[in-house]
Amino acid sequence: MDYRKNYQHFLEDPAIDEATRQELAALTDEKEIEDRFYKELEFGTAGLRGIMGAGLNRMNVYIVGRATQGLAGYLNALPGAAERGVVIAHDSRNQSDAFALRAACVLAANGIKTYLFKGLRAVPQLSFAIGHLGCAAGIVVTASHNPPAYNGYKVYGENGAQINPDQAAKITRCIQAVENFSDVKLIDPDQAVKQGTLVWIGEEEDAAYYAYTASTVLDQSVMTAAKDLKVVYTPLFGSGRVPVKHMLTQEAGIQQFYEVAAQCEPNGDFPGLSAPNPENPEAFDEARKVADEVGADLILATDPDADRLGVAVRDGSGFTVLTGNQIGCLMLNYRLMKLKELRRLPENGLVVKSIVSTNFADAICRKYGVRLDSVLTGFRFIGEKIDECVRFGKNTFLFGFEESYGYLSGNKVRDKDAICAALMIAETAAWYSLRGMTLLQGLHELFGEYGWFKEGVSSFTLYGVEGMAKIQAAMARVRENPPAEIAGAPVLAVRDYKRRLRTAGSEKEPLDLPASDVLYYELPEDGWLCVRPSGTEPKLKAYAGCKAADAAQAAARAAEMLDYAQNLLGME
């Protein structure tokens, strides 16, 4: 695309306000102009995500409005979709409320019934509300755990999961048909309310979601007996504060629940954090202070849209931040064990994880005789498995997780749910506390039984046109020159998900998953390495997993594999 032509066209569009024109006209850095206009912010299965600001390659009300006009065109071509409507939620990020309102006004102007949450709501609450209200689609305005400069716009289908590639492609074509921002229809929100196309929602939908999520508890007697469990929680300035507090105190009955006051109020600048990401140890710094003051052993943290849950556990005088894989396997093992104990473990039970998540889960599922399916990265693939369970009844969905701190149980939410996960990990911690153990001690007990599993991930951020080219070149180079060994271990098989082919020596077999630019190397003794571009950020990622006799050996091996991956990808 001709970025200068795009820049001029944007400036001349009559729908653009004067402040935005002045912001763009003041730009003197040619590279900055190029980055804002060399392409349109891409719409895909994860919707839109980018840095906020004026431009085609930025998140702003015009890009949101155009995307929503395209979505309206797509929905108005589906019988009954306009009457069923769309539900919209937003998190605490800067401009999230303005983007959500703009989307609502565009939909209403196009004759589509629109339900808009008053105030912050989490991703799982939005996902649940789609089914609860019988909507044709949903929108949530969030950039999840990204740094403060980012925002995003995710579209959900009628099943409550993020849209699939076919839906994304059709919506994209409708967006591309909107040539000018002045072609985007708008209505005043008060007028939309009067004519019945905009409905403000909140309390009733919250109550329904809370009642559903409360059913996640497997054994209330565990929670009751462990009432002295001390839990410190931080919403990291996001949407999780109200629902997580409600679930843990009102539904689970935890009496010693402590909030991190300094991080409770919504704030899109996320002060003190490079990013509001519960994967980062720094996210627990303020919470550790509170935990030390009250003598708590357990800290929980959720990201701004409350779809990811992080956990830290006291380890002597300090705290250990658990990985997403460790959190998932602690909950998985407890839930399968408890279901079996209660004689509620179905013979057709199904657990689902992503391909870059730990093989620890495979070992746990084998012990309990439960089927485990692996899917591509992206929680919508887990949502699709839940769909199959509901529609065909062949399997009963029990639990799903990704290494990136996303977890889910139940079938009325189709995206990762940190509110549900907070309740599940609290029950797991309560069960261990009844045995005089912390979650960390429980994890070590599992390692003693199954072996010491260790995973790691390296991310290489590459911005702009050059960065995208480097990512594509690195993947192409590795694909055409597959390694015979990785950090001294022989490669047993290569899974090329772009070609949908698994190659083991001279044997080849098709992969029964959608095409995706992912390379996965199978290694001996539960070892593996996977490389892929991020779907939501300008990053190239390498994942490694292994099993060893003890913690030190496992950590050393995982680090060695990631070092190899860095060299393999040419990211020195």
Backbone angles phi, psi at 371, to 5 degrees: -70, 140
Q: CA–CA separation, 499 vs 494, rounded Å?
A: 11
What the block records as the tokens of 547 is: 């099993």
CB-based contacts of 148, cutoff 8 Å, min separation 6? 93, 94, 268, 269, 270, 275, 276
Axis crossing angle, helix 203-214 with helix 123-133, rounded to the nearest 10? 100
- Give the gyration radius of the chain's Cα atoms: 24
Give the CA-trace dihedral at 338, 344, 345, 347, to 10 degrees.
170
Q: CA–CA separation, 191 vs 513, rounded Å?
A: 47
What the block records as the tokens of 223 is: 């929670």
Buried/exposed 308-318: b ≥16 CB within 10 Å, e otherwise = bbbbbbbeeee
CB-based contacts of 525, cutoff 8 Å, min separation 6? 546, 547
Strand extents, DSSP E, 172-297? 198-201, 230-234, 256-259
**What is the spatial order of strands in the sheet that 371-375 belongs to?**
371-375, 349-354, 396-402, 406-408
Q: Which residues are catalytic?
A: 144
Q: How many CB atoms lie within 10 A of CB 51?
A: 18
The answer to whether the beta carbons of residues 547 and 359 sit under 8 Å apart is: yes
Q: CA–CA separation, 361 vs 230, rounded Å?
A: 28
The answer to whether the beta carbons of residues 503 and 520 sit under 8 Å apart is: no
The answer to whether the beta carbons of residues 10 and 3 sit under 8 Å apart is: no
Q: What distance separates the 2 farthest-apart alpha carbons in the chain?
A: 69
**What is the spatial order of strands in the sheet that 114-117 belongs to?**
48-51, 150-156, 137-141, 86-90, 114-117, 198-201
